[in-house]
Structure 1
Amino acid sequence: MAQQADPPVEAPAADNPRTAARQRRLHWLWGPAFVAAIAYVDPGNVAANLTAGARYGYLLVWVLVVANLMAVLVQYLSAKTGLVTGRSLPELLGQRLRRGPRLLYWAQAELVAAATDLAEVLGGAIALQILFGVPLLWGGVIVGAVSMLLLTVQSRRGQRSFEFVVMGLLLVITIGFVAGLFVSDVAWGEAAAGLVPRFEGTESVLLAASMLGATVMPHAIYVHSALARDRHGDTGKAALGRLLRATRGDVLASMLVAGAVNIAMLLLAADSLRGVAGTDSIQGAHQAISNTLGPAVGALFGIGLLASGLASTSVGCYAGASIMAGLLKVRVPMLARRVVTLAPALVVLALGVDPTWALVLSQVLLSVGIPFALVPLVSLTGNREVMGEQANSLRLRIAAWTVVGLIVALNLALIVLTVAGIG
Structure 2
Amino acid sequence: MRGATRGAKRSAPAWLLGPALVAGVAYLDPGNVAVNMSAGAQFGYLLVWVLIVANVAAWLVQYLSAKLGLATNQSMAELLGDRFRTRTSRLLFGLQAQFVAIATDIAEVIGGAVALWILFDVPLVAGAVITAAVSTILLLMQAKRGAKTFEFTIIGLMIVIVMGFCYGLVLQPPAAGDVLGGMIPRFDGPQSVLLAASIMGATVMPHAIYAHSSLARDRFGADGGERIPLPRLLPATRVDVTIALTIAGSVNLVMLLVAATVLPGVEGTESLEGAHAAIGAALGPVAAAMFAIALLASGLASTAVGAYAGSDIMGGLFRTKLSLIGRRLLTIIPAIVVLAIGVDPSFALVMSQVVLSFGIPFALVPLVWLTSRRELMGPATNRWWTAAAGWLVAAGIIGLNVALLVLQFGGA
Asked if 1:324 is matched to 2:301, the reply is no
Q: Is the 8 A contact 1:212 1:367 kept in 2?
A: no
Tell me how far 1:236 sits from its aligned partner: 7.6
Match of 1:69 in 2: 56
Give the distance between the partners of 2:49 and 2:165, measured in 1 at CA: 19
SS at match of 1:87: coil
Offset of residue 188 of structure 1 = 3.1
Paired residues of 1:209 and 1:367 also in contact (CA < 8 A): no
Q: How far has the Cα of 1:185 moved from its partner?
A: 3.9
Of residues 50, 69, 76, the one that matches 1:82 is 69
Matched, 1:32 2:19: yes
Q: Which residue identity does 2:93 align to in structure 1?
A: Y
Equivalent of 2:215, from 197, 209, 227?
227
Of the three residues 102, 109, 123, the one matched with 2:97 is 109
TM-score, scaled relative to structure 2: 0.93
Q: 1:364–1:170: structure 2 CA closer, same or farther, 3 Å change rule?
A: same
Maintained 8 Å contact 1:54/1:273: yes
Q: Is the 8 A contact 2:310 2:331 kept in 1?
A: no
Please list the CA deviations of residues 383-407 of structure 1 after superposition, one character each: whole Å capped at 9, or x if unmatched.
1111112110011111111101111
| Aligned counterparts of 2:356 and 2:49: Cα–Cα separation in 1 | 19
Cα pair 2:35 2:270 within 8 Å, conserved: no
Aligned partners of 2:71 and 2:377 also within 8 Å: yes
Aligned twin of 2:36: 49
The 5 A counterparts of 1:15-414 are: 22-24=10-12, 26-98=13-85, 99-234=87-222, 239-414=229-404
CA distance in 1, matches of 2:187, 2:355: 20
- Residues of 1 paired with 2:395 and 2:116: CA distance? 39
What is the rounded CA distance, in whole Å, between the counterparts of 1:168 and 1:237 in structure 2?
27
Q: Which letter maps to 2:137?
A: L
Aligned amino acid, residue 352 of structure 1:
G
Rg (Cα) greater in structure: 1
Determine the C-alpha separation between the residues in 2 that align with 1:135 and 1:204: 34
Is contact 2:201-2:397 (8 Å) kept?
A: no
Give the superposition deviation at 1:265: 0.6
Please list the CA deviations of residues 44-85 of structure 1 after superposition, one character each: whole Å capped at 9, or x if unmatched. Answer: 111111111112222222221111111111111001001101
Tell me the C-alpha RMSD between the 2 structures: 1.8
How many Å separate the matches in 2 of 1:416 and 1:363? 14
Deviation at 1:419, TM superposition (A): 5.0
User: What is the CA–CA distance in structure 2 between the aligned matches of 1:335 and 1:206, rounded to whole Å?
Assistant: 38
* Matched-pair contact (CA < 8 Å) for 1:129–1:135: yes
C-alpha spacing 1:358/1:298, structure 2 compared with 1 (3 Å)? same
Per-residue CA deviation, residues 22-64 of structure 1 (Å, 9 max, x unaligned), is: 232x111111111111111011111111111112222222221
- Deviation, structure 1 residue 240: 1.0
Once residues 365 and 27 of structure 1 are traced to their aligned partners in structure 2, the CA distance between those partners, rounded to angstroms, is 37
Per-residue CA shift, 1:84-131, capped at 9, x if unaligned? Answer: 011111111111113232222111111111111001000000100111
**1:10 corresponding residue in structure 2:** none
Q: Distance in 2 between matches of 1:322 and 1:307?
A: 23
How many residues end up aligned between the 2 structures?
402
Deviations 1:258-278 (A, max 9, x none): 001111111111112221233
CA distance in 1, matches of 2:290, 2:117: 14
TM-score for both structures, normalised by structure 1? 0.91
Residue 202 of structure 1 contacts residue 418 of structure 1 at CA under 8 Å; is this kept in 2?
no
Letter in 2 for 1:64: L
Structure 2 residue runs without a partner (length 5+): 1-7
Quick one: distance in 1 between partners of 2:260 and 2:357? 23
Q: Is the 8 A contact 2:357 2:401 kept in 1?
A: yes
The structure-2 alpha-carbon separation of the partners of 1:188 and 1:154, relative to structure 1 and needing over 3 Å to count, comes to same
Of 204-213 and 311-320, deviating more is 204-213
Deviates most, 410-419 or 379-388: 410-419
Decide whether aligned partners of structure 1 residues 331 and 70 sit closer, same or farther in structure 2, where only a CA change above 3 A counts: farther
C-alpha displacement of 1:368: 2.9
CA distance in 2, matches of 1:34, 1:420: 37
Cross-structure match for 1:12 = none
Equivalent position of 1:8 in the other structure: none
Which amino acid in the other structure matches residue 343 of structure 1?
A: I
Distance 1:91 1:32 in 2: 18
Cα distance per residue 1:174-206 (max 9 Å; x no partner)? 111111101124243232222223333333333
Identity of aligned residues (%): 58
Greater CA deviation, 355-364 or 260-269? 355-364
